[in-house]
């Protein structure tokens, strides 16, 4: 009898895992799926996909906009996400990781979160450099346009193409003489960010400040924030840049894992 209970429990966990596999496919990059596509993407059998999709539709977590059309997230899933976002504090989760980054680089470290539909990121946590004298500060709660600065561009470079295009098209606020306000130049810069895995900023938000940033992912591998260091330019030589960039990428990957992503920052 005990073995029968264990088998049932194992089967239940397996079905729950498949259910989350299905829901995890719905991302900003691909918000609509047919049952056949879900089966191919997850490896779950056709009959199980059918049962899960019907259950999710009955509960409001999925919805079919047109008869025989693809499925998208329903109002129950959206409501759950909104409730989670109001209770979740990325800044608090990030603090131990920021402490590690400051210890390793000796420069100011910060995290800025992104909310879909906004043209900016918001600084939610910061630890200043332990250096005496000249240091860089970004006030917690301050907004940074997505096109300016390392922490913001680390997010923008990994947003869905349609959102990127909307931001690149402008308007692009000029914060300093070095802020990128030419759409073509910004698009090329974002390509470079994706190619090397980190963003760089020189005087883009504040004069004399050098920044290095990387994207942070959340559940579903959606970019939710950026993490960066900021330093006076006179402390950032070429060799230091490369060493610090690898450290920023590493802590971005660690924070992504903490937030429930299944891939490291890229």
Token look-up 């397996």 returns: 14
Q: What's the pTM value of the predicted model, to 2 decimals?
A: 0.68
Tokens at 266, concatenated: 């890229």
Mean pLDDT over 231-254 rounds to 87
Write out pLDDT tens, residues 34-82.
999 999 999 999 999 999 999 999 999 999 878 788 999 888 887 776 6
Distance CA(232)–CA(21), nearest Å, equals: 45
Grade residue 266 by pLDDT with cuts at 50, 70 and 90.
Answer: very low
Domains and CATH numbers, the chain: 2-83 (1.10.10.10), 88-258 (3.30.450.40)
The answer to whether the Cα torsion of 16, 19, 21, 24 is positive or negative is: negative
């Amino acid at each position: 009898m005990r073995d029968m209970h264990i088998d049932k429990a194992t089967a239940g966990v397996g079905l729950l895992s498949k259910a989350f596999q299905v829901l995890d496919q719905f991302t900003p990059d691909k918000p609509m799926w047919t049952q056949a596509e879900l089966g191919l993407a997850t490896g779950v059998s056709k009959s199980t996909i059918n049962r899960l999709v019907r259950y999710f539709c009955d509960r409001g977590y999925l919805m079919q906009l047109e008869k025989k059309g693809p499925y998208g997230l329903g109002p129950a899933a959206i409501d759950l996400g909104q409730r989670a976002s109001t209770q979740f504090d990325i800044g608090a989760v990030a603090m131990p990781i920021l402490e590690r980054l400051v210890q390793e680089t000796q420069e100011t470290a910060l995290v800025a979160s992104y909310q879909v539909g906004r043209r900016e990121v918001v600084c939610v946590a910061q630890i200043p450099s332990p250096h005496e004298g000249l240091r860089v500060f970004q006030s917690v709660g301050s907004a940074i346009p997505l096109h300016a600065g390392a922490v913001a561009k680390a997010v923008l470079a990994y947003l869905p193409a349609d959102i990127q295009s909307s931001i690149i098209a402008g308007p692009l606020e000029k914060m300093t003489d070095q802020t990128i306000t030419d759409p073509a130049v910004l698009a090329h810069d974002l390509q470079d960010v994706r190619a090397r895995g980190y963003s760089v900023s020189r005087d883009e938000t504040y004069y004399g400040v050098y920044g290095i940033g990387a994207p942070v992912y959340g559940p579903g591998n959606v970019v939710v924030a950026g993490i960066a260091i900021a330093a006076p330019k006179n402390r950032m030589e070429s060799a230091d840049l490369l060493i610090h960039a690898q450290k920023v990428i590493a802590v971005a990957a660690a924070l992504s894992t903490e937030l429930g992503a299944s891939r490291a920052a890229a």
